[in-house]
Amino acid sequence: MTRNDTYPDIPLETFSEVVESVYDCALDPGRWQQTIGTIGELFRSHYGLLAVTDLERRHYELMFQVGFDEHCQRLYEEKYAPMNPYVGRLQLLPVEAVATRDMLIDDDEFQKSEFYHEFVKPLEICDAIGFNVLKTRQRIVQLAAHRRESEGRYEYAEIRLLSLLAPHVCRSMAISHTLNLQTIRSEALETTFDALAFGVYLTDRQGRIVFMNREGDRQVRTSEALRIGNTRLTPVDRKACATLTNAIAEVTADETGTPSGEVTTLALPGDEETALIAHVLPLNRRERRNFFGGSGPAAAVFIQDPLAEASSSAEGFKKLYGLTAGELRVLLAMSPGLGVKDAAKTLEISEATTRTHLQHIYMKTGTSKQTELMRLFMGTLPPINLELQLPHVLAAG
């Protein structure tokens, strides 16, 4: 993969195939084995895993993994997992927050650990990257990849790319965890969808809405970006409306059960300060048709409000590191890249106060400079504006 400062240069088709594979796992969890391998290849990682920590039994299990032989897997599960400082610190982060090993633990500290000398060094592992997929009272599910020394360390571009993929993985796992989609009754399905924090719209092949969850109903009633017209989803922006219509048509074009389209991601602009992000997923595989019935929905449209999710993640970052309200305001003001002087002007406070808040933030987060702090902070946030961050992943252009 060619490197740049924002994202690895990958084809749209490759990213879409990975996203589709992730959503297929919601209906058939056995597909995670192949999908973990695909994600490992995407991030040039010799090792990849989907692991669960049972908090009640204090038991760690590699549900699916690639790269480890049977002996190493058993040894890790039975002895070394509790000794891994990266896993423990990653568990403290919010769901979807991507972090590499050096974002959570100092190299000197890590290399002094028994875990490093007995397990990591013999396998020539030099770095890890991952996030929490699911967190409940009983268990924590994590997805991670590991590189050997010959593969080099993960860079900022890969952190941002995994941050784009993480919401899809978490949604797929949340649905799979909550539902047995092969046997659940439609009433329970609706209840589960209503509990989700993003809009879910199921449409037929003509784009007519056959179901939407509670958050979807709220979105179309309150958002400046989305409406329902003639029983169809109708973005306010004309270009986005045409793109969404075409996307639904493309992913539902093949009636034989083999999807002809790709998972499509697009922006739904509203006024100057609001926008939604839509993901269109085909539901025309045989497994999906059997569950919903032959006349059921042919496409699922997931719509999120990234600003609301960012606000929630920022509040989680505040709680995680014990920031005060004033310190969080300074952090948010500086997150677009502003310096102390401009941030102080934006917040209408003195530069001295701003610097004091910033020093406190450094101390609480274990960082020492603005670039390091922002790397940590941005790794916990969902993509705010996909159109600006990864234009070639959008179908809105």
| Chain center to CA of 288 | 23
The matching CATH number, chosen from 3.30.450.40, 3.40.50.2000, 3.30.365.10, 3.20.20.60, for 12-178 is 3.30.450.40
pLDDT of residue 333: 79
- Classified by CATH at the fold level, domain 309-378 comes out as Arc Repressor Mutant, subunit A (1.10.10)
pLDDT of residue 384: 39
Residue 65 is which amino acid? Q
Residues of the chain with CATH 1.10.10.10: 309-378
Residue 361 is which amino acid? I
Residues 346-372 as b or e (16 or more Cβ within 10 Å = b):
bbebeeeebeebbebbeeebebeebee
Task: Please state the pTM of the whole predicted model.
Answer: 0.49
Residues of the chain with CATH 3.30.450.20: 186-304
- Rounded Cα distance between 66 and 143, Å, is 12
Q: Is 21 helix (H, G, I), strand (E, B) or coil?
A: helix
Residue ranges of the chain whose pLDDT lies below 50: 1-4, 180-185, 256-261, 286-295, 383-397
Condensed to tens digits (0 to 9), the pLDDT of residues 167-183 reads 999 988 887 766 543 44
Q: And the tokens for 385?
A: 């504006």
pLDDT of residue 186: 53
- CA dihedral (8, 13, 175, 159) in degrees, to 10, reads 0
Residues of the chain with CATH 3.30.450.40: 12-178
Residues 252-273 as b or e (16 or more Cβ within 10 Å = b):
beeeeeebebbbbbbbbbbeee
Count other C-beta atoms under 10 Å from residue 109's C-beta. 10
pLDDT of residue 192: 65
pLDDT of residue 131: 95
Strands (E), 55-115: 59-66, 99-100
CATH architecture of 186-304: 2-Layer Sandwich (3.30)
374 CB-near residues (< 8 Å, 6+ apart): 334, 335, 337
Question: Is the C-alpha dihedral spanning 66, 72, 74, 79 positive or negative?
Answer: negative
Q: Residues 86, 102: contact at Cβ < 8 Å?
A: no
- Give 56's Cβ-side CA count (13 Å radius): 4
